[in-house]
């Protein structure tokens, strides 16, 4: 696997243990965590002790297991509050909602997944509300596929080599079909999904791009399938794409001009463009 240079394996172990709580159950025991990460129980136990001491995890005496602690909550709300992507996107989400009357969302890419950063819920009585902050897979739903489509080949390969479990009955789990879809999404500049992640729902997503035109997140509009018909999905695409483009430009510091997306390339007199550093995300 492409090891990030310079890191220490012990730090990564700590991060991995923390991230175990992002997806898994509320509380996790030492043995289970050790099994899941391929570490010894002693190691996991020591790390959990340290994290408990800092309040990042808490020990649940009843179940004799560990769960996230209050410091993690603090960290997270700070991260959410500080997010450039969220702050920049929010007015555009409001605009989208006002124009389309459906729920508009921003998502961020995280290693091995994605999550909703925020939403502006629709104006209808029956509306759609997503779960902000939960880590979701990349292969299901318009947002996930959209982010994946605008990722590096390495990331795509990695994501498609995973389990690819079906979230709903409509989830595409065949790698070849997914690759074909990703190619089309990349060509179109947007993605659509009908009930792939949430049954009875549909959504349209367009990527927010960072350096090297790799997605750092996505903007989407979603709602119940009975309102988001195929025709309506096609109708909202331009608005979603436009919003995502505006967010992309604003994130990059460009003063949101009406002009076309600039092609990837060196942007000044420097011989090396600043975007071939190494695929790290910069602003989120």
Partner DNA sequence: CCTCCTCGTTCCGCCAAGAGGAACATCTGT
Partner DNA sequence: ACAGATGTTCCTCTTGGCGGAACGAGGAGG
Can you give the binding site for a second copy, defined by CB under 8 A? 4-12, 14-16, 18-19, 21-22, 26, 45-47, 49-56, 58-62, 67-83, 108-111, 115, 117, 132-135, 211, 253, 274, 277, 280-284
Residues 46-65 vs DNA: string with x where CB under 7 A?
xxxx---------x----xx
Which of 3, 5, 81, 125 touches DNA (CB under 7 A)?
5
Q: How far is the CB of 259 from DNA (least distance, A)?
A: 25
Q: Which residues on neighbouring strands pair with residue 105, listed in sequence order?
A: 119, 220
Pick from 218, 69, 229: which is nearest to 130 by CA? 218
| Longest CA pairwise span in the chain (Å) | 62
Pick from 182, 189, 188: which is nearest to 218 by CA? 189
Q: Which does 75 bind (CB under 5 to 8 A by kind): DNA, a second copy, none?
A: a second copy
* Contact flag: residue 169 with DNA (CB under 7 A): no
Going across the sheet that includes 57-60, the strands are 27-28, 65-68, 57-60
In sequence order, which ranges of the chain are alpha helices (DSSP H)? 9-23, 30-37, 41-53, 70-82, 84-100, 142-149, 153-160, 175-188, 230-251
Pick 16 or 188: Cβ nearer a second copy: 16
Pick 39 or 121: Cβ nearer DNA: 39
Pick 24 or 238: Cβ nearer DNA: 24
> Using CA atoms, how far apart are residues 20 and 43, in angstroms rounded to an integer?
15
What letter would DSSP give residue 220?
Answer: E
Pick 153 or 253: Cβ nearer a second copy: 253
Structure tokens at 242: 């436009």
Q: How far is the CB of 120 from a second copy (least distance, A)?
A: 17
* Contact flag: residue 253 with DNA (CB under 7 A): no
Hey, how many other C-beta atoms are within 10 angstroms of the C-beta on 42? 10
* Contact flag: residue 32 with DNA (CB under 7 A): yes
Pick 59 or 189: Cβ nearer DNA: 59
Structure tokens at 123: 């104006």
* Residue 152 contacts residue 264 (beta carbons within 8 Å): no
CA-only gyration radius of the chain, Å = 20
* Contact flag: residue 6 with DNA (CB under 7 A): yes
Which of 1, 3, 9, 258 touches DNA (CB under 7 A)?
9
Pick 41 or 101: Cβ nearer a second copy: 41
Pick 59 or 232: Cβ nearer DNA: 59
Which of 10, 74, 77, 229 touches DNA (CB under 7 A)?
10
> Using CA atoms, how far apart are residues 204 and 241, in angstroms rounded to an integer?
9
Q: Which residues bind DNA (CB under 7 A)?
A: 5-6, 8-11, 13, 29-32, 39-43, 45-49, 59, 64-65, 270, 274
């Amino acid at each position: 696997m492409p090891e990030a240079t310079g890191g220490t394996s012990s730090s990564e172990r700590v991060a991995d243990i923390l991230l175990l709580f992002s997806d898994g159950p509320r509380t996790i025991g030492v043995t289970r965590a050790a099994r899941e990460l391929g570490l010894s129980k002693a190691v996991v136990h020591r790390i959990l002790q340290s994290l408990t001491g800092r309040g990042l995890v808490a020990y649940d005496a009843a179940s004799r297991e560990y769960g996230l602690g209050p410091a993690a909550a603090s960290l997270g709300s700070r991260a959410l509050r500080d997010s450039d992507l969220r702050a920049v996107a929010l007015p555009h989400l409001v605009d989208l909602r006002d124009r389309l009357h459906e729920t508009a969302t921003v998502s961020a890419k995280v290693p091995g997944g994605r999550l909703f950063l925020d939403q502006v819920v629709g104006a209808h009585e029956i509306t759609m509300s997503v779960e902000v902050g939960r880590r979701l897979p990349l292969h299901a739903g318009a947002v996930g596929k959209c982010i994946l489509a605008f990722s590096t080949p390495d990331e795509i390969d990695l994501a498609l080599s995973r389990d690819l479990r079906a979230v709903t009955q409509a989830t595409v789990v065949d790698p070849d079909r997914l690759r074909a879809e990703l190619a089309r999404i990349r060509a179109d500049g947007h993605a659509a999904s009908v009930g792939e992640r949430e049954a009875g729902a549909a959504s349209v997503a367009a990527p927010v791009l960072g350096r090297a035109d790799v997605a750092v997140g996505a903007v989407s509009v979603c709602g119940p399938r009975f309102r988001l018909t195929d025709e309506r999905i096609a109708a909202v695409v331009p608005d979603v794409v436009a919003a995502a483009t505006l967010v992309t430009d604003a994130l990059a510091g460009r003063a949101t001009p009406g002009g076309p997306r600039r092609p990837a390339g060196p942007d000044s007199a420097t011989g090396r463009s600043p975007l071939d550093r190494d695929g790290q995300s910069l602003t989120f």
